[in-house]
Amino acid sequence: MEFTGKIALITGGGGGIGRASALGFAQRGAKVVVVDLDQAEGEASAELIRQRGGDARFVRAVNLTLGPQNHDIDGAETIWDFFRGFP
Ligand SMILES: NC(=O)c1ccc[n+]([C@@H]2O[C@H](COP(=O)([O-])OP(=O)(O)OC[C@H]3O[C@@H](n4cnc5c(N)ncnc54)[C@H](O)[C@@H]3O)[C@@H](O)[C@H]2O)c1
């Protein structure tokens, strides 16, 4: 299956099944948004994709269990910028 022209948003993309899925979608042509609570591992997944010639961004997951004071919309804005840049 080919995903050229599609964007895949992978939650838990910083490790395990999520990282494998992110790499798999990218290998098949998708631009990938890697979402994870773990910033270092999520960014590592996105970097792995870019090193292999793909296009990927990392967005830190918002942990809703920490309460409203810990929410931010940085991730949402990053996703919006990513989609807006997509022809
Ligand atoms: N590995 C297996 O064989 C297997 C089999 C059946 C089901 N599962 C389930 O699939 C899921 C993933 O398994 P895995 O082995 O890839 O786990 P993993 O621990 O290797 O990877 C999970 C990733 O998700 C991230 N994460 C955790 N909570 C998150 C959240 N709320 N938002 C965003 N990111 C979050 C972690 O930081 C980590 O990078 C788990 O729920 C696991 O129980 C795994």
Q: Where do the domains of the chain lie, and which CATH numbers do they carry?
A: 1-62 (3.40.50.720)
Residues 6 or more apart whose Cβ sits within 8 Å of residue 69: none
- pLDDT tens profile 9-66: 999 999 999 999 999 999 999 999 999 999 999 999 999 999 999 999 998 887 666 6
Pocket (CB within 6 angstroms of ligand 1): 11-12, 14-18, 35-38, 41, 61
Q: How confident is the model at residue 78 (pLDDT cuts 50, 70, 90)?
A: low
Tell me, in angstroms, the distance from the centre of ligand 1 to residue 11's CA: 9
User: Is residue 71's pLDDT more than 90?
Assistant: no
Ligand 1 atom closest to the Cα of residue 63 is: 31
Under a CB-based contact definition with an 8 Å cutoff, are residues 42 and 65 in contact?
no
Kindly report the number of other CB atoms within 10 A of residue 28's CB atom.
14
Tell me, in angstroms, the distance from the centre of ligand 1 to residue 18's CA: 7
**Residue at token pair 């979608």:** 25
**Would strands 31-36 and 56-60 be described as parallel, antiparallel, or unpaired?**
parallel
